[in-house]
């Protein structure tokens, strides 16, 4: 049966969650909700399709949680489906369009952008409904599968659920933006901070302390341990916990907005080699202006391949900057396999309402891109710098998100910058961070790199 592109897109992602049965799928019928249902006794499965999003979503109980459904013509009906005497399954709400609306990015079709040309959390559906920590699409898929399971039971057909991970996948990553705390430019910047010309990361006294240390190192050549060149410590910690992480390296495309190192620096080349030899993944951290410039992302892709000896599999855009579908078209065109950018900078959670990897969608050309998105669940600066809830707030939020992800066997993707581990910036973080990782690993997730997630997907033969 031929489906429209958007229906096919949703159904293909649904196959992550059940052993798709051709006999059952052949009974799927997609009917405009204002149409008269066909007067037939054939045991079909009817999915209503709605054109307009509800101003006030209908609340449906799914897995004992009240879930807002975005598209429905049956706002007074609270049940998920009905199964009549002919064995026909009729869904009462439009879970297909609701899923497509979030997964494909229709929800973000607005000209309003923030100062970095990003879609803002405050303009999002999640903000309006106060549900950034609920993977809505996973619940919509659960509703569909509950109905399909009842249908299969009625007709004595096989039905089997699937999960991507037995418990959940833990995808830890690091953006390597800054590697030299005492470099001359950083020392000069502290003078600007002290004069009030730039915002301070530390208190006045600590800024003076680091200015003094920078002078000692650069003028008098004192040997000081650099708190941003902490890779030995991080590698040791992660290996001791059985974690394999991904490290995204940033090209210096703009002197102020991008990295303060060159990808071709010997120290960086050696670091990438060391990480990959130890079983970690090194990926590309697309520069600020590469988000809307194919030539830049292509140059950086090729440069990474030259210095690493292999093409990068994955990428995350600097500043989490996605300027539109062009960002992902460009990534696809240069040969990247996955992206790990999609999260709201201002708030952790499920930007596309899904805790599984998914194929990105080009709405302008009505096609699925050959590029995976592994959604970023939490960036440490979202709770710490944007929401200012502190380390305890971050911890609580992380495990609230993990609870949802574990329910569905999805991926918890955590970004922690190597330069965000100083106690003077976040008091107690040097002890907090190892504890956070230990407590996550105590829940027995499968620690995976981005590349390993892609390998798992391809081995599962779900979506090509």
Return contacts of 25-33, CB within 8 angstroms, 24+ apart.
Answer: 25/1, 26/1, 27/151, 28/1, 30/3, 30/4, 30/96, 33/72, 33/73, 33/94
Conformational region of residue 402, where left means phi above 0, alpha means psi within -120 to 50, and beta covers everything else:
alpha
Residue 228 — very low, low, confident or very high, per pLDDT cuts 50/70/90?
Answer: very high
pLDDT at 217: 62
- Please, which residues have CB within 8 angstroms of residue 196's CB and are 6 or more apart in sequence? none
- 22, with CB counted inside 10 A (0-12, 13-18, 19+), is exposed
Q: Which CATH class is domain 169-181+226-460?
A: alpha beta
pLDDT (mean) for 160-186: 91
| pLDDT tens digits, 318-358 | 999 999 999 999 999 999 999 999 999 999 999 999 999 99
pLDDT (mean) for 146-174: 98
- Hey, what are 294's tokens? 């194919």
pLDDT (mean) for 260-281: 96
Domain residue extents for the chain: 5-154, 169-181+226-460
Separation CA 306–CA 176 (nearest Å): 18
Calculate the CA 145 to chain-centre distance.
24
Instruction: Return the number of other C-beta atoms located less than 10 Å from residue 423's C-beta.
Output: 13
Containing 454, the helix (H) or strand (E) segment is: helix 450-460
pLDDT (mean) for 354-366: 98
pLDDT surpassing 70 at residue 28: yes
Instruction: Assess contact for 428 and 394: CB atoms under 8 A.
Output: no
pLDDT at 225: 84
pLDDT surpassing 90 at residue 48: yes
Per the listing, tokens 């969608």 go with 361
């Amino acid at each position: 049966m031929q489906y429209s592109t958007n229906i096919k897109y949703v159904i293909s992602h649904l196959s992550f969650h059940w052993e798709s049965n051709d006999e059952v799928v052949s009974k799927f019928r997609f009917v405009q909700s204002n149409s008269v249902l066909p007067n037939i006794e054939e045991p079909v499965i009817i999915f209503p399709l709605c054109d307009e999003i509800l101003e006030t979503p209908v609340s449906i109980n799914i897995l004992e949680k009240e879930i807002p459904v975005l598209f429905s013509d049956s706002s007074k009906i609270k049940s998920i489906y009905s199964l009549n005497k002919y064995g026909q399954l009729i869904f009462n709400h439009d879970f297909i369009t609701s899923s497509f609306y979030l997964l494909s990015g229709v929800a973000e079709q607005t000209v309003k952008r923030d100062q970095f040309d990003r879609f803002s959390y405050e303009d999002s559906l999640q903000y309006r409904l106060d549900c950034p920590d609920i993977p809505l699409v996973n619940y919509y898929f659960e509703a569909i599968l509950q109905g399909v399971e009842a249908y299969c039971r009625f007709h004595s057909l096989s039905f089997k659920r699937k999960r991507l991970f037995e418990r959940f996948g833990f995808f830890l990553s690091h953006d390597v933006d800054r590697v030299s705390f005492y470099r001359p430019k950083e020392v000069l910047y502290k003078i600007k901070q002290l004069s009030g010309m730039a915002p301070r990361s530390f208190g006045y006294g600590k800024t003076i302390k680091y200015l003094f240390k920078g002078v000692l190192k650069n003028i008098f050549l004192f040997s000081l341990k650099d708190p941003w060149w902490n890779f030995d410590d991080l590698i040791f910690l992660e290996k001791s916990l059985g974690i394999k992480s991904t490290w995204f390296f940033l090209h210096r495309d703009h002197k102020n907005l991008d990295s303060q190192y060159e990808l071709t620096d010997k120290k960086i080349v050696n670091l990438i080699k060391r990480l990959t030899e130890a079983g970690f993944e090194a990926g590309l951290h697309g520069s600020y202006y590469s988000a809307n410039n194919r030539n830049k992302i292509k140059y950086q892709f090729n440069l990474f391949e030259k210095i690493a000896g292999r093409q990068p599999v994955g990428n995350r855009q600097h500043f989490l900057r996605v300027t539109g579908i062009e960002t992902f078209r460009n990534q696809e065109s240069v040969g990247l396999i996955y992206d790990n950018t999609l999260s709201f900078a201002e708030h952790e959670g499920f930007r596309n309402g899904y805790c599984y990897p998914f194929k990105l969608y080009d709405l302008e050309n009505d096609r699925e891109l050959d590029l995976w998105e592994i959604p970023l669940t939490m960036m440490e600066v979202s709770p710490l710098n944007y929401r200012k809830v502190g380390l305890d707030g971050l911890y609580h939020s992380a495990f609230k998100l993990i609870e949802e992800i574990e329910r569905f066997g999805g991926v918890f993707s955590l970004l922690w910058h190597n330069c965000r581990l100083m106690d003077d910036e976040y008091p107690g973080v040097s002890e907090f961070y190892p504890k956070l990782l230990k407590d996550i690993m105590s829940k027995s997730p499968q620690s995976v790199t981005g590349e390993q997630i892609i390998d798992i997907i391809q081995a599962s033969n779900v979506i090509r």
